[in-house]
Amino acid sequence: MITIKHLSKTFTHDDGSKLQVLRDVNCEISKGEVISIIGPSGSGKSTLLRAINMMDPPTSGEIFFDGENVLAKGYRMNKLRQRMGMVFQNFNLFEHLNVLENVTLAPMRLLGVNRKDAEAEAYSLLRKVGVADKATALPSSLSGGQKQRVAIARCMAMHPEVILFDEPTSSLDPTMVREVLSVIQQLANEGMTILLATHRLTFARNLSTRIFFMYNGTIHEDGPPEQIFEHPVHSATKAFVQSIYKLWFQIDSPDFDMPDMYSQMSQFCYKYNLNDKIDTVNRIAEIMVENVMGRYRPLTVRLTYGEKENITALDFMVEGLATTPLKSRNINVAALEDVRSMSRNIIEEPTKRGFRVKIIV
Amino acid sequence: MMKRLFLLLVVALCLAACGSRTPHVNKPKSEADLSGKVVGVIAGQSYDIDLTARKDLTICRHPTISECIASLETGRIDVFVADEVAVNHDVQEENGIRLAFVTEKNYPCAFALRKDKQDLETVLQFNEFLVDLRASGELDAIIDKWIKAVDYASVPMTKDTFTVSGKPIRVGTSFTMAPISFRVENQWRGMEVEILTLFAHSIGRPIEFKLYDFAALIPALQSSAIDIAAGALFITEERQKALALTNSYFECHGGYFVLDRKSQTKGSFINRFKKSFNNNILVENRWMFLARGLKVTLEITLFSLFFGTLLGAGLYLMRKSHRKWVFKIAASYSLLMRGIPMVVLLMILFYVIFTGINGLVVAVIAFSMSFASFVAPMMETAIDAVGNGQREAGLALGFTPWQTFRLIIGPQALKRALPHFKREVVSLIKNTSVVGYIAIQDLTRASDMIRSRTFEALFPLFFVTVLYFILAWLICKMLDYLFKIGTEI
A155-190 per-position pLDDT tens digit: 999 999 999 999 999 888 878 888 999 999 999 999
**Same domain as B324, residue B237:** no
* Phi, psi dihedral angles at B37 (to 5 degrees): -90, 165
B303 touches chain A (CB under 8 A): no
Q: Is residue B402 part of a domain?
A: yes
Q: Is B460 left (phi over 0), alpha (psi -120 to 50) or beta?
A: alpha
Q: What whole-number distance in Å separates Cα of residue B382 and Cα of residue B395?
A: 20
Q: Is residue B118 part of a domain?
A: yes
**A interface toward B at CB cutoff 8 Å?**
53, 55, 78-83, 85-86, 88, 90, 92-97, 101, 105-106, 108-110, 151, 154-155, 158
**Same domain as B347, residue B295:** yes
Q: Which residues contact A55 (CB under 8 A, 6 or more apart)?
A: A86, B392, B395, B396
User: What is residue A183's predicted lDDT score, i.e. its pLDDT?
Assistant: 93
Q: Which residue of A has its CA nearest to B392?
A: A55
Per-residue pLDDT tens digits for B435-454 = 988 878 889 888 888 887 78
**Same domain as B295, residue B169:** no
User: What is residue B13's predicted lDDT score, i.e. its pLDDT?
Assistant: 45
Whether A244-360 and A2-241 are alike in CATH topology: the answer is no
What is the topology classification, in CATH, of domain A2-241?
A: Rossmann fold (3.40.50)
ipTM score assigned to the predicted complex: 0.79
Q: Is residue B81 part of a domain?
A: no
pLDDT along chain A (361 residues), means of 10: 92 85 93 93 91 91 90 88 94 94 94 94 94 93 94 94 93 85 93 92 91 93 92 89 84 88 89 85 90 85 85 90 83 87 90 89 88
Q: How far is CA B486 from CA B301, B380, B415, B480, in A?
A: 21, 19, 11, 10
A-contacting residues in B 413-432 (Cβ below 8 Å): 415
Architecture of the A244-360 domain: 2-Layer Sandwich (3.30)
User: What is residue B478's predicted lDDT score, i.e. its pLDDT?
Assistant: 93
From chain B, the residues in CB contact with A78 under 8 A are 395, 398-400, 403
Chain-chain contact of B398 with A158 (C-beta, under 8 angstroms): yes
Q: For chain A, how big is the Rg over CA atoms in Å?
A: 25
Closest Cα in chain A, distance from residue B389 (Å): 5
The residue count for chain A:
361
Q: Is residue B290 part of a domain?
A: yes
Per-residue pLDDT tens digits for B366-415 = 999 999 999 998 999 999 999 899 999 999 999 999 999 999 999 999 88
**In chain B, how many domains are there?**
2
Closest Cα in chain B, distance from residue A78 (Å): 4
**Same domain as B461, residue B324:** yes
Of A82, A95, A155, the CB nearest to B412: A95
User: What is residue A319's predicted lDDT score, i.e. its pLDDT?
Assistant: 87
Q: Is B477 left (phi over 0), alpha (psi -120 to 50) or beta?
A: alpha
Closest Cα in chain B, distance from residue A82 (Å): 4
CATH number at residue B378: 1.10.3720.10
Closest Cα in chain B, distance from residue A188 (Å): 20
Which residue numbers in chain B have pLDDT < 70?
1-25, 175-176, 261-267, 489
From chain A, the residues in CB contact with B399 under 8 A are 78, 106, 109-110
Closest Cα in chain B, distance from residue A265 (Å): 31
Q: Which residues contact A294 (CB under 8 A, 6 or more apart)?
A: A332
CATH number at residue B141: 3.40.190
Closest Cα in chain B, distance from residue A135 (Å): 17
From chain B, the residues in CB contact with A168 under 8 A are none
Domain boundaries defined on chain A: 2-241, 244-360
Torsion angle of the four alpha carbons A109, A111, A115, A117, in this order, in degrees rounded to the nearest 10: -160
From chain B, the residues in CB contact with A108 under 8 A are 489
Of B390, B393, B398, the CB nearest to A79: B398
Q: Is residue B116 part of a domain?
A: yes
**Same domain as B318, residue B452:** yes
User: Which helix or strand (DSSP H or E) is residue A210 part of?
Assistant: strand A210-215
Of A81, A93, A105, the CB nearest to B489: A105
**Same domain as B349, residue B246:** no
Q: Which residue of B has its CA nearest to A96?
A: B412
**Same domain as B315, residue B237:** no
**Same domain as B305, residue B246:** no
Q: Is residue B257 part of a domain?
A: no
Per-residue pLDDT tens digits for B117-144 = 888 888 999 999 999 999 998 888 888 8
B399 touches chain A (CB under 8 A): yes
Per-residue pLDDT tens digits for A248-266 = 899 988 888 999 999 999 9
User: What is residue A90's predicted lDDT score, i.e. its pLDDT?
Assistant: 92
Chain-chain contact of A95 with B411 (C-beta, under 8 angstroms): no
Q: Which domain holds residue B209?
A: 108-252
User: What is residue B4's predicted lDDT score, i.e. its pLDDT?
Assistant: 61
Closest Cα in chain B, distance from residue A90 (Å): 8
Q: What is the pTM of this model?
A: 0.70
User: What is residue A247's predicted lDDT score, i.e. its pLDDT?
Assistant: 87
Per-residue pLDDT tens digits for A312-348 = 999 999 888 888 888 887 788 888 888 999 999 999 8
Q: Which residues of B226-257 are buried (b: 16+ CB within 10 A; e: fewer)?
A: bbbbbbbbbbeeebeeebbbbbbbbebebbbb
Of A93, A106, A151, the CB nearest to B398: A106
Q: Is residue B87 part of a domain?
A: no
Indicate if the alpha-carbon torsion angle A108, A113, A116, A120 is positive or negative.
negative
Per-residue pLDDT tens digits for B162-179 = 888 888 899 998 766 778
From chain A, the residues in CB contact with B403 under 8 A are 78, 109
Chain-chain contact of B398 with A82 (C-beta, under 8 angstroms): yes
Chain-chain contact of B395 with A85 (C-beta, under 8 angstroms): no
Q: Is residue B372 part of a domain?
A: yes
**Same domain as B189, residue B122:** yes
